[in-house]
Amino acid sequence: MSTSNQAAKSAGKMKLAVDTPAELCYDEDAVNEADNLKGVNPMRKSQSKICALYERLSREDDDAQGQSNSIITQKQLLADYAKNQGFTNTRHYSDDGTSGTTFQRDAWQELIADVEAGKIAQVICKDMSRIGRDHVQVGLILEIFRKAEVRFIAVTNNIDSAYPETLEFAPFLNLVNEWYARDISRKIMAAKRSNGHNGKYVSSIAPYGYKKSEADKSVWEVDPVAAEIVRRIFRMTIEGYGVCAIANRLRKDKIYSPGYYMAQRGIGCCKNKEWRDPYQWQNTMVDMIIGRMEYKGCMVNLKTQKQSFKDKRSKQVPREEWLVFEGKHEAIVDETTWQAANDIRQKKRRNKPDSLGEPHPLTGLLICETCKSKMHHNRGIYKATGKAKNYYTCKQSKRGAEYCTGHRIHGEVVEYIVLDVLQRVSEYATTNEKEFTRQINEMYSTQQAETVKAQRKKLKSDQSRHAELDKLMQHIYEDNVAGKINDKRFEVLSNQYEQEQAELEQAITNLTADIDSYDDSTDRAAKFLELTKRYKAFSKLTPTMLHEFVDRIEVHERTDRRAVVTTQKVDVYLNFVGTYQPPYEETDEAPTQEEMDAQIAHDKRMAKLLYQREYKKRRDANDGQPLGHFEGKRPDERTPEEVAAAETERKARLKEYHRQWYQDNKERMKAEQAAKRAAMTPDERTADDEQRNKKRRAYEGGYRERNRSQVNAKTRKYRDKKRSQTAITATAI
């Protein structure tokens, strides 16, 4: 048979294979002859290579097409096709429940790896949509198959890469498949958004602590085991523990992490994950649990969204755009507990245990009254006395005196003040509810009335200016049309007016919202009374009480910063009632200023006397404890060497104290000196400079004299030493 006849016969057989897709016929002779025409050596095909049969099914495909598109049906179809066409060494690659918009599929990645390794000769799938629904990516994959000399067959689409003419329609099929995925994604998103606005659950998984009801999947039920862990996290937060400390405690107690706990029950996105540590609690997990509104009984919909059906990453929606429905399911923690825990998380505080073991309960509540920055808590042990440190200072004071002063106050003092305020206010509020409510109403009505009055005045001014800008923009437009101003000037003025108008619109919106959210003072009094009824006859502060009662504590500077005993004002702002002070009873009399001064002087004398007694007691009798080099000896038992060593140690400590004091107060003294010289007249400044120079010359002269004396003494000592050595040498000779 001639070559032309062979070509005609081959063409006829190929045409038969293309024109009869329903039969899915396969003519081995035709394929070999076509390979000969293309210059492919049939002997190069290795019989040991794999014939890959790929199946994929997504949830959308399963819902839309039912059993006809199931994995089992696909496997049977491909196996029958491979057997009928004579393909051997077949192997199935299956992705069940995976969308075609992503190519990060386990079985697909394995197939691609085998293709790149040269293990596969043919890839057969049911149709092009099984490969994927992204026309760009599918085109790249077909190019990979071509370069690897892998034959690709889509059975129902009648596509076979052995016949290039069958690939001409493949790009259109890929576009249709992508459009189908886009359309399905759009419909699903619209349905979820509609359900979210109608108060229906749109999340496919209930959060940790809840589970879906067996009777009705749209109902959330409390999971007793996980809910107890959630309550424990909220309880520890209110007690003052940070997210890191809570995570460490849960890990130490071998509590399953949320992901592992849900995976054990076959739910969640980590159910197929291999867990190295099932107790691996992360700080972000704890923080996310504390901030979730679902735990107080709220349904929160549409918190995230996706930019494209091709991108599986979710983007956080601004909090003000969330859809919140209250009371949709049983709450794990009550509203008060949830709010208290989140208020604590909002306040920056050091929760890490220090040298004393636990964080101070007031940390994060104290604020410097001058600069409004947080107060730093200093804890530890004094090396000299062995006593515990417990005082607060302003953070800005560490930067220098020009930023702020220390505002130092002892932690015990603050605790005493807060406890006294809470006891007095709670006692008065519980015994005089009506009068307390009336006073709170009057206090906040006056304050808020002034605030709202100023806001309404500002709102009226902004609205008037907004209307005026409309008229100005109309005038400049008419002037531009009439030719009074050119286009460039019109554009500049128009942009300025539009920018100002946009700022005014934002300000008007904010002011309107503030006025509409005018807080009723009656609610404030009722909420505080509810707290007082919960805590009755308390004599000690707990972290829970502090963060439920106290909003903040503002500390003023002391009247005398260097005195041991002095006066210092502390403002305690309580939740709902602010700095409310109950009226004094008739039996109580407020102390006068003279009585307060006398009490301060008496306290100073007593403090000085106690210090002198304690020092004398430790120095002479030692109170049974070692002191310096004497080891508890009486004065008459100490040797001269011990006394000399103790005196040397005392001088060294005194020198170190002076050095440290100078380091601590150097910047302050410089600032005070600069302020003092700035207030001087030119003549006073000249006189001050002369006095400074005189002191410096006297000091330098004395230093040179002392140095000269030391040099002379060393010289005489060296000369006497040489003379003695010379005399000894002469005697020896």
Read off the pLDDT of residues 245-281 as tens digits, 9 standing for 90 and up. 899 999 999 999 888 888 888 887 777 777 888 888 9
Tell me the sheet residues that pair with 571: 554
CA dist 733 → 321, 514, 721, 723 (Å): 109, 109, 19, 15
Q: What percent of the chain has pLDDT over 90?
A: 8
Q: How far is CA 174 from CA 78, 112, 134, 185, 708, in A?
A: 21, 19, 7, 17, 99
> Cα 497 vs. chain centroid, distance in angstroms?
39
Task: Look at residue 509 and tell me whether its pLDDT is greater than 80.
Answer: yes
Per-residue tokens: 266 = 């076959």
pLDDT at 358 over 80: no
Structure tokens at 54: 């790929």
The more confidently predicted of residues 702 and 367 is 367
Please give the Cα distance from 480 to 476 (Å, whole number).
6
Better-scored residue on pLDDT, 143 or 16: 143
Q: Is the pLDDT of residue 521 over 50?
A: no
Q: Across-strand partners of 92?
A: 53
Q: What is the pLDDT of residues 523-574, one digit of tens each?
A: 777 888 888 888 877 888 877 788 788 888 999 998 877 776 778 889 998 8
Residue 346 contacts residue 365 (beta carbons within 8 Å): no
Rg of the chain in Å (alpha carbons): 43
Which tokens is 136 given? 């760009």
- Phi and psi based region of residue 618 (left: phi greater than 0; alpha: psi -120 to 50; beta: remaining): alpha
| Segment 67-87 mean pLDDT | 83
- Residues 6 or more apart in contact with residue 311 via CB below 8 angstroms: none
**Which pLDDT does position 232 carry in this prediction?**
92
Which segments of 283-387 are extended strands (E)?
Answer: 299-301, 304-305, 315-316, 323-325, 366-368, 375-381
SS3 content of the chain, % helix, strand, coil (to 5): 60, 10, 30
Phi, psi of 662, deg, nearest 5: -65, -40
Maximum mean pLDDT: which of 109-113, 600-604, 616-620: 109-113
Beta-bridge partners for 573: 552
What per-residue confidence (pLDDT) applies to 702?
Answer: 64
Contact 169, 133 (CB under 8 A): no
Q: Of 139 and 634, which is predicted with more confidence?
A: 139
- Is the pLDDT at 290 greater than 80? The verdict is yes
Using pLDDT thresholds of 50, 70 and 90, give the confidence band for residue 589: low
Q: What percent of the chain has pLDDT over 70?
A: 77
- Summary mean pLDDT of the chain: 77
Once rounded to an integer, what is the mean pLDDT over residues 399-410? 85
Q: Does residue 123 carry a pLDDT above 90?
A: yes
- Give yes or no for a contact between 362 and 411, defined as CB atoms under 8 angstroms apart: yes
Structure tokens at 692: 């400074």
- Tokens 């749109």 appear where? 202
> What are the tokens at 433?
């509810």
H/E run at residue 550? strand 550-555
Q: Which of residues 149 and 323 earns the better pLDDT score?
A: 149
Element at 467 (helix H, strand E): helix 433-482
Residue 338 half-sphere exposure toward CB, CA atoms < 13 A? 16
In angstroms, rounded to a whole number, what is the distance separating the alpha carbons of residues 667 and 193?
Answer: 62
Question: DSSP assignment, residue 583?
Answer: P
- Phi and psi torsions of 143, nearest 5°: -70, -35
pLDDT band (50, 70, 90) for residue 350: low
In 3D, which of 240, 471, 486 has the Cα closest to residue 343?
Answer: 240
Here the tokens at position 40 are 């492919």
Q: Which residue has the tokens 């002037």?
A: 479
Output the pLDDT for position 10.
Answer: 38
- pLDDT tens for each residue of 43-67: 344 457 899 999 988 765 544 444 4
Query: How far, in Å, CA of 588 to CA of 436, rounded?
Result: 19
The pLDDT value given to residue 460: 85
pLDDT band at 486 (very low <50, low <70, confident <90, very high): confident
- Look at residue 6 in the predicted model and tell me its pLDDT: 39
* CB-CB contact of 129 with 175 (8 Å): no
253: tokens are 């107690």
- Average pLDDT estimate for 210-224: 85
Residue 731 has pLDDT above 60, yes or no: no
Q: Does pLDDT of 395 surpass 90?
A: no
User: Which two tokens mark 127?
Assistant: 């149709």
Residue 463 near residue 548, CB atoms below 8 Å: no
- pLDDT score at 636: 59
**pLDDT of 704 over the 70 cut:** no
Residue of 362, 387, 397 whose CA lies nearest to 377: 362
Rounded Cα distance between 196 and 175, Å, is 31
DSSP of 218-261, one letter per residue?
TSEEE-HHHHHHHHHHHHHHHTT--HHHHHHHHHHTTPPPHHHH
Residue 260 has which token pair?
């592992």
* CB neighbour class for 704 (10 Å; exposed up to 12, middle 13-18, buried from 19): exposed
Q: What is the structure's pLDDT at 16?
A: 32
Sign of CA dihedral 261, 263, 267, 270: positive
- Nearest-CA neighbor of 571 among 583, 584, 556, 559? 556
Query: Would you state the pLDDT for residue 31?
Result: 46
Question: Facing residues of 305 across strands?
Answer: 315
Q: What is the pLDDT of residues 149-191, one digit of tens each?
A: 899 999 988 889 888 888 887 887 878 777 777 777 777 777 7
> Roughly what angle, to the nearest 10 degrees, separates helices 521-534 and 411-431?
110
Chain centroid to CA 492: 43
94: which DSSP letter?
A: E
Q: Which of 33-42, 197-206, 228-237, 455-464 has the lowest mean pLDDT?
A: 33-42
CB of 455 closer than 8 Å to CB of 515: yes
Tell how strand 409-410 and strand 388-394 pair up: antiparallel
Q: Which residues are CB-contacts of 685 (< 8 A; sequence separation ≥ 6)?
A: 677
pLDDT at 102: 83
Contacts of 106 (CB under 8 A, 6+ apart): 95
**210 pLDDT higher than 80:** yes
d(CA 719, CA 713): 10
Q: d(Cα 230, Cα 252) in Å, to the nearest integer?
A: 16
Comparing 348 with 565, which gets the higher pLDDT?
565
* 309 has pLDDT over 70: no
Give the side-chain half-sphere CA count within 13 A for 272.
Answer: 3
Per-residue pLDDT reduced to its tens digit, 639-653: 778 778 878 887 887
> How many angstroms separate the CA atoms of 200 and 221, rounded?
15
What are the helix (H) ranges across 3-105?
A: 3-19, 28-38, 59-65, 71-85
At 625-635, the pLDDT tens digits run 444 545 555 55
